[in-house]
Amino acid sequence: MQVEEHLFRRESGRMVTALTRIFGLDNLALAEDVVQDAFCRALEVWKIRGVPDNPSAWLMATAKNRAIDVLRRQKTAQRCAPELERLFESEWTLVPTVSGLFDPSVIKDDQLRMMFSCCDQRLSQTSQVALILHVLCGFSASEVAAAFLAGHAAMEKRLTRAKKVLSSSKHLFDLADREFAERLSAVQRAIYLLFNEGYQSATGEAATRVELCREAMRLAQALLDHPLSATGASYALCALLFLHAARVPARVDAAGDLLSLFDQDRSRWDAALLEQGRRFLTRSATADEITEYHVEAAIAALHAAARKVEETDWAGIVSCYDTLLRLRPTPVVALNRAIAIAQAEGPSRGLEELERITDSQRLADYPFYHAALGELERRRGALNAARAHFSAAHALAKNAAERRFLERRIEECGAQVPLTPVPAS
Amino acid sequence: MSEFVYLYRGGQRGASPEQSEQIMQKWATWLKQLEDKGHMKDRGQPLEAEGKVVKGDGKLITDGPYAESKDIVGGYTLVQAKDLTHAAELAKGCPIFERGGLVEVRPVMEM
């Protein structure tokens, strides 16, 4: 019998959470050691005995027993969570208390609290996301580095610093804290960033990146499991992630090449994810607040509603982007709005809007900006201008699938055949 | 067919869960092979590295490890084979050799 893929990664987050609850958040390093030890012991036994029917339960039981061992050995109960010290001092209450903290529903709530702890405002957003991936999703430092396309050493350093901040408090974040609302939006932001990190390059050749999307979806759904965090914005965030994730199977063609929203075979969109996304969106509307997540999810839902690209409600999408631009006035939003306007009113209007983006120099390094310029020039027949823009985008593209996509576009604009002198023989 | 015990001595453990998982996977494959070919009597058990030694007339109890870590028995398996040569030949497939360990093959005494 094989160990199911990512068993350790998944269980690690649950185990670390339960153990930090027991030892105190300031003993995060101890918790991580116990988890590593539990994994290695499990594998030593499974090596000879074979993998048990319920490996997750086996791992949790091992971690629990190791925790009890550690607590028994510590005569001075200083190292554990202060509110539990007394319960750990007596053998009568030690085991039931530890068992209680390993209860699946308790772990679930504590994982949510851990997610809030990771989004400490003293940490940069990147560090928050890295910490969530590492502590809650069980990604090793090198896996986190790969997720961010960053170097291993740099990520290790970042994680060490972040963990120091995390373990500077004894307790997991209390959802009744008065900073809750502020922290909740930081958590939502982190999940959104995590998803984008994966989605931007979730292509066939970078299959691991799809995992980031999956983790983000799992974490976002965890917000819905608790009455305090199940806000309209959380539902909207879930809707947004699910509606986007539904398109992943259609984003590349059989050859592994990236397809734009216009060229995708929409029958390959994941119907179950779309349906779930729509349900989340409906529930998000009960709140009186409108967040960026609401608007972005609404845009995704409008795309999803069109079975063919020609059926897209572009006017509806433009009005969504108008709202989004008010909520988040960034050049990238303005760029997407201009593309929608081009769809609704023609390429020349789109180009007008693109020129009107005030701080477009901030888009200079953004390949999609140049690709959009190229696309609109191509549509109005200015092939030379289009080719130049596509070439600029090509130079900035982040992965091979993007580059191939742009190469095809350049070719469609009629590549100039360079004049090579005939060698004199 | 006679019975033999494989004693697994030494062999580094994995340094990370990923590495340990790879090692485990290799062991699983190897033991499955023995099973499929009808050589397996009992998969046996892994053993803890720590222990105590009781020795001498004074029955003196000391802490293990007894010698160098490369000598520590980490587990055992009971197999059946034609003869000692055959049993030793079968042991060649054990992944322990990749991690610096060895397999001690001992015939079970027959009555």
Position A420 confidence tier, pLDDT thresholds 50, 70, 90 = very low
> Three-state SS for B52?
strand
**Closest chain B residue by Cα to residue A39:** B17
Q: What CA dihedral angle connects B37, B39, B42 and B48, to 10 degrees?
A: -100
Domain carrying residue A68: 1-102
Q: Please state the rounded mean pLDDT for residues A108-123.
A: 95
Question: Does A170 map to a domain?
Answer: no
Burial A64-79 (b: 16+ CB within 10 A, else e): bebbbebbeeeeeeee
Range list of H helices, A24-139: 28-49, 55-73, 85-89, 91-101, 104-118, 125-131
Q: Over pLDDT 90: what percentage of chain A?
A: 53
Question: Does A51 map to a domain?
Answer: yes
Task: Look at residue A75 and tell me whether its pLDDT is greater than 50.
Answer: yes
Q: Where are the beta strands (DSSP E) in A189-344?
A: none
Residue A204 has what pLDDT? 46
More confident residue, B20 or A224: A224
Residue B64 has what pLDDT? 74
Residue A417 has what pLDDT? 45
Question: Does A365 map to a domain?
Answer: no
Q: Is the CB of residue B9 less than 8 Å from the CB of residue B74?
A: yes
22-41 in A: which are within 8 Å (CB) of B?
36, 39-40
Question: Does A423 map to a domain?
Answer: no
Each residue of A117-133: pLDDT tens digit?
Answer: 999 999 999 999 999 99
Taken in order of first residue, the domains within chain B and their CATH numbers are 2-107 (3.30.70.1060)
Q: Which residues of chain A does B45 touch, with a Cβ-Cβ cutoff of 8 Å?
A: 48-49
ipTM: 0.85
Task: Look at residue A2 and tell me whether its pLDDT is greater than 70.
Answer: no
Task: Check if B36 contacts A (Cβ < 8 Å).
Answer: no
Tell whether the torsion through CA atoms of A166, A172, A177 and A181 is positive or negative.
Answer: positive
- Give A156 to chain B, closest Cα distance, Å: 16
Provide the 8-state DSSP code for A2. P
CA distances from A132 to A84, A158, B14 (A): 25, 13, 25
Tell whether the torsion through CA atoms of A184, A185, A190 and A195 is positive or negative.
Answer: positive
Q: Is B100 exposed, middle or buried (0-12, 13-18, 19+ CB in 10 A)?
A: exposed
Question: Does A195 map to a domain?
Answer: no
CA A218 to chain centre: 9
Each residue of A246-279: pLDDT tens digit?
Answer: 998 888 777 777 787 888 889 999 999 999 999 9
Residue A192 has what pLDDT? 95
Of A105, A133, A102, the C-alpha closest to A118 is A133
Specify the number of domains making up chain A. Answer: 1
Residue A120 has what pLDDT? 94
Q: How far apart are CA A415 and CA A394, in angstroms?
A: 14
Q: How far apart are CA A374 and CA A389, in angstroms?
A: 5
Residue B66 has what pLDDT? 65
Task: Look at residue A368 and tell me whether its pLDDT is greater than 50.
Answer: yes
Which among A247-261, A347-361, B30-44 has the top mean pLDDT?
A: B30-44
Q: Please state the rounded mean pLDDT for residues A332-354.
A: 92
Task: Look at residue A6 and tell me whether its pLDDT is greater than 90.
Answer: no
Q: Over pLDDT 70: what percentage of chain A?
A: 92
> Are the Cβ atoms of B45 and A49 closer than 8 angstroms?
yes
Q: How far apart are CA A401 and CA A415, in angstroms?
A: 19
Q: Please state the rounded mean pLDDT for residues A417-422.
A: 46
Range name among A73-82, A166-175, A312-321, B44-53 with the lowest pLDDT average: A73-82
Q: How many Cα atoms sit within 13 Å of A291 on the Cβ side?
A: 21
CA distances from A77 to A66, A87, A95, A97 (A): 16, 10, 15, 14
Residue B19 has what pLDDT? 79
Task: Look at residue A208 and tell me whether its pLDDT is greater than 70.
Answer: no
Question: Does A424 map to a domain?
Answer: no
> Are the Cβ atoms of B75 and A48 closer than 8 angstroms?
yes
Question: Does A148 map to a domain?
Answer: no
Burial A270-280 (b: 16+ CB within 10 A, else e): beebbebbbeb
Question: Does A69 map to a domain?
Answer: yes
Task: Look at residue A200 and tell me whether its pLDDT is greater than 90.
Answer: no
Each residue of A287-328: pLDDT tens digit?
Answer: 678 899 999 999 999 999 998 888 999 999 999 999 999 998
Q: Tell me the residue type at B59.
A: K
> Three-state SS for A306?
coil
Place of tokens 């879930």: A238
Q: If you average pLDDT over every residue of chain A, what do you get?
A: 87
Reading the block at residue A288, the tokens are 């009186």
Q: Is the CB of residue A200 less than 8 Å from the CB of residue A154?
A: no
Q: How far apart are CA A239 and CA A226, in angstroms?
A: 17
> Are the Cβ atoms of A49 and B14 closer than 8 angstroms?
no
Polymer length in residues for chain B: 111
> Three-state SS for A71?
helix
Q: How far apart are CA B70 and CA A331, in angstroms?
A: 63
> Are the Cβ atoms of B24 and A46 closer than 8 angstroms?
yes
Q: How far apart are CA A237 and CA A61, in angstroms?
A: 34
Q: If you average pLDDT over every residue of chain B, what do you get?
A: 89
Residue A4 has what pLDDT? 64
62-81 in B: which are within 8 Å (CB) of A?
74-75, 77
